[in-house]
A and B are shown apart, each in its own frame.
Chain A
Amino acid sequence: MSTDTSPSASAAVGRALARAPWGTIATIAFVGVALRGLLLWLVLPLDIQSDEANYLYLALAKERLGIYYDQHRYFWPPGYPWLLSKSIHAFGIEGLNVLRAFQVALSSVIGVTTMLFAWRLFSRRAAIVAGVIWAVDLPLGAYTHFLWTETVFLSLLLPALWHFVRALDLADEGDDLGATRRLLLSGVLFGVALYIKEYVLFLVPVFAAVVALRSRGAGWQEALRRASLPVLAVAVVTLPWTLRNHEVYGRTVVGGATLGENVFVGLNARSMNFDVLPLRKRRADLGLPQIETLARTSFTEVPAGWVPEDRDGNGEIEVRDAGWDREFDAIHAIDRHSSQLRAGLAFAAEHPAWTLRTRLKKWSELVTPLSFFTRHQAMAMYPEGGVVAGALRGPLVFLALAVSTLTMLLGAAGYFLTLRRGPCRAVFTVLIGYVVLTSLLVAMSRFRVPLEPVLIVMTAGLLAHGPQDRSRSRVVGLAVTLLVLTGLWWISWPETVAAAQMALGVTR
């Protein structure tokens, strides 16, 4: 088992990379892709839902008018609608399924990289365990048949992280040219990922700081040279889109612009849980009380002393009447950010206790064992009479819930007790922190997706090797993490149970 602690250990990793168990990795990746392909075949025909419709609208408009429009409340990067438009251009509406099949194949990149991380950090045995978990990871696998960006995004993000970690390894070995190449490649992949999701926009500078800190032994000039390389690569890769935006808007927009709307949704009086909100219609059809009525109100109710206004003008005061409204004077999404950010922060500052308890709720929604697979099941999106919504429904939903729950629990244990210090741990820690912090505004199970491969890797390390470090600080760290995780699960437990029951179909 590699210890991942020192430059010499990193050098050993580098030398051993050529001996990665490629045959085993490829075999497991093939099995994982086959399972996803089988799942896709079983779930078709599949309607579009939520943001899938928005992506498709953009693709249709691009196909017909040749222009990429914004989304009025958001301005998303163009990569995914572009992929969709190419697919429907070539295959008509069947292009949606062609893109799904493409995502199934592309998910092999996620599987391979996950196994490589487990192998690099732990061992061949851990790589096999990680591969098996990835293969049956239904919450992750289901994104291959959704028209959300997650599969394509992860297929770029994980290799970017892998090459970034390898760059740190090579720098430790003194292989400057190799490290430079890897940093460049990593930056290019981060840049391409930004065309799919602007999520990593602020992650790259943080990683650059990691490079600078780890390279400070080589002198600050060299540290700066290394650290600036991925940032510069990202800037160049995204420059065509940035220049296009400058031409269209006359203002600089890097990647996309979603902050203003996320602030509106996340720092506002009403509570919106996107793992359960789309279940409203289905619950009404089934004669069930709406899920928000089941929530622990301490974490969802409007601020004390705040008097809601009938902002939507429907004659009723409802929770959906926001604490503050969108900026109507600014007609473009890109121009609403600053004023909406100000309004959201002012609202939060005015109601500090509300801000605190609702942030706990956001984190609770981030770590919910639910997933978009269970959400699709709960919404009855899968074909009625088909095996996924029929005979296999219960086992698959249990599998999805179990994978989410166990990878969080065991992943936390693996992080504290099995994962050793080193560049990879630093990168994983930064990523975990980034996901947790960005979820302070809006959270749902989908926002946990960038962490899921990391959780799989750490789970695999623990299962393959058991606890390796039982020092007091690590045990306390794990205990605190598990306590927090349990508390967060408790916060959203009523909604989780209700949504899980719907997914299982036991409410009928």
Chain B
Amino acid sequence: MPHLVLLAIAAAMALVAGVKHLSTEEALRVAFDGEAPTDDRLWAAHVAANRAVARDPRLGDALVRAFLAADDERLREGALTIDLSRHAIHPPGARPDAAPPLQSAYVYAALEGGEYTPHRVRSRVLFRRKVGGSSVGGIRRMALPEARWFMDSLRGTPLPPREEIDRYLIERSREPVNLRKPR
């Protein structure tokens, strides 16, 4: 009897998953749809980027540009995550795990107004501290101050002055290369 109940539960879950299934074509359409809700676009991009088994310029270039040009900060931050970064189109001769150029240009662009906005802080953290290392953005892991700034930025708590953030980021980036953990 328990076997039958378990199998029935499994069948029900599979049925629900089948009904909610999003085709890859539909995912791509939603991801590019400027009128679609942000959550739907982020999820669609997630699905499309992970189903693609090879680098896809539609995702690594066109969709990244679309997200980075969006008004919604969440969409812009969504362009900086692993999903789209690993579809980046690199210039000839670059290592396949080099930092994605579009996202790098966005994250390291000059600060508007001379201060880090909450979005700029989140962008730095999301892009530079990706889990897993250098291939998709940053080689060093996140430390507590960045996590604190990230959460402060979401909760509306004032961020430290630019000098403090810059000093911290520069110090971290200057950690000697030969002391890194082996790749």
A interface, CB within 8 angstroms of B: 45, 47-48, 50, 53-54, 56-58, 60-61, 63-67, 69-74, 88, 92-93, 96, 180, 184, 225, 228-229, 232-233, 235-236, 239-240, 243-244, 246-250, 270, 272, 277-278, 280-281, 284, 312-314, 319-320, 322, 328-332, 335
The answer to whether A65 touches B13, judged by C-beta atoms less than 8 angstroms apart, is no
Q: Quick one: given A64-B154, A281-B175, A328-B96, are A72 and B131 in contact (CB under 8 Å)?
A: yes
State in angstroms the CA–CA spacing of A72 and B97 once bound together: 11
The answer to whether B17 touches A88, judged by C-beta atoms less than 8 angstroms apart, is no
Does B32 lie at the interface of the complex (its beta carbon under 8 Å from any beta carbon of A)?
A: no
| B-side contacts of A246, CB under 8 Å | 17
Q: Quick one: given A57-B130, A240-B13, are A272 and B24 in contact (CB under 8 Å)?
A: no
**Nearest chain A CB to B154 CB, angstrom units:** 7
The answer to whether B47 touches A69, judged by C-beta atoms less than 8 angstroms apart, is no
Nearest 10 CB-CB pairings of A with B: A72-B132, A53-B141, A320-B182, A243-B17, A71-B131, A54-B131, A250-B51, A73-B132, A328-B96, A93-B151
State in angstroms the CA–CA spacing of A56 and B154 once bound together: 15
CB-contact partner of A48 in B142, B176, B179, under 8 A:
B142
| B-side contacts of A65, CB under 8 Å | 42, 74, 77-78, 81
Q: Per-residue 0/1 for B30-51: is the Cβ within 8 Å of any A Cβ (1 yes, 0 no)?
A: 0000000001001100110011
| B-side contacts of A64, CB under 8 Å | 74, 77, 122, 126, 150, 154
Kindly state the interface size class of chain B when it binds its partner. 35 or more
| B-side contacts of A248, CB under 8 Å | 46-47, 50-51
Does B64 lie at the interface of the complex (its beta carbon under 8 Å from any beta carbon of A)?
A: no
Does B174 lie at the interface of the complex (its beta carbon under 8 Å from any beta carbon of A)?
A: no
> What is the predominant secondary structure among interface residues of chain A facing chain B?
helix
State in angstroms the CA–CA spacing of A57 and B147 once bound together: 8
| A–B Cβ pairs within 8 angstroms, 25 of them | A48-B141, A48-B143, A48-B147, A53-B129, A56-B147, A57-B130, A57-B142, A60-B151, A67-B46, A67-B81, A69-B82, A69-B131, A72-B82, A72-B130, A72-B131, A93-B144, A93-B148, A229-B3, A239-B13, A248-B51, A281-B175, A320-B182, A330-B53, A332-B50, A335-B53
Does B70 lie at the interface of the complex (its beta carbon under 8 Å from any beta carbon of A)?
A: no
State in angstroms the CA–CA spacing of A249 and B81 once bound together: 16
Name the residue on A nearest B87 (C-beta): A331
| A-side contacts of B55, CB under 8 Å | 331
CB-contact partner of A58 in B9, B95, B131, B176, under 8 A:
B131
CB-contact partner of B53 in A72, A232, A328, A331, under 8 A:
A331
The answer to whether A70 touches B82, judged by C-beta atoms less than 8 angstroms apart, is yes
The answer to whether A48 touches B42, judged by C-beta atoms less than 8 angstroms apart, is no
| A-side contacts of B81, CB under 8 Å | 61, 65, 67, 69
Does B91 lie at the interface of the complex (its beta carbon under 8 Å from any beta carbon of A)?
A: no
Within 8 A of A (CB), among B132-169: 132-133, 135-136, 141-144, 147-148, 150-152, 154-155
State in angstroms the CA–CA spacing of A277 and B181 once bound together: 7
**Nearest chain B CB to A76 CB, angstrom units:** 9
| B-side contacts of A233, CB under 8 Å | 6
CB-contact partner of A284 in B20, B179, B183, under 8 A:
B179
The answer to whether B96 touches A236, judged by C-beta atoms less than 8 angstroms apart, is no
Q: Per-residue 0/1 for B70-100: is the Cβ within 8 Å of any A Cβ (1 yes, 0 no)?
A: 0000100110011100110000000111000
The answer to whether B22 touches A328, judged by C-beta atoms less than 8 angstroms apart, is no
Q: Quick one: given A63-B154, A93-B148, A320-B182, are A225 and B82 in contact (CB under 8 Å)?
A: no
**Nearest chain A CB to B50 CB, angstrom units:** 5
State in angstroms the CA–CA spacing of A201 and B40 once bound together: 32
Does B54 lie at the interface of the complex (its beta carbon under 8 Å from any beta carbon of A)?
A: yes
The answer to whether A239 touches B74, judged by C-beta atoms less than 8 angstroms apart, is no
State in angstroms the CA–CA spacing of A428 and B13 once bound together: 34
A93-B151, A332-B86 given; 17 more Cβ-contact pairs under 8 Å: A60-B125, A63-B154, A65-B42, A66-B39, A69-B83, A69-B131, A71-B82, A72-B131, A72-B136, A249-B50, A284-B179, A312-B183, A329-B54, A330-B53, A331-B53, A331-B86, A332-B50
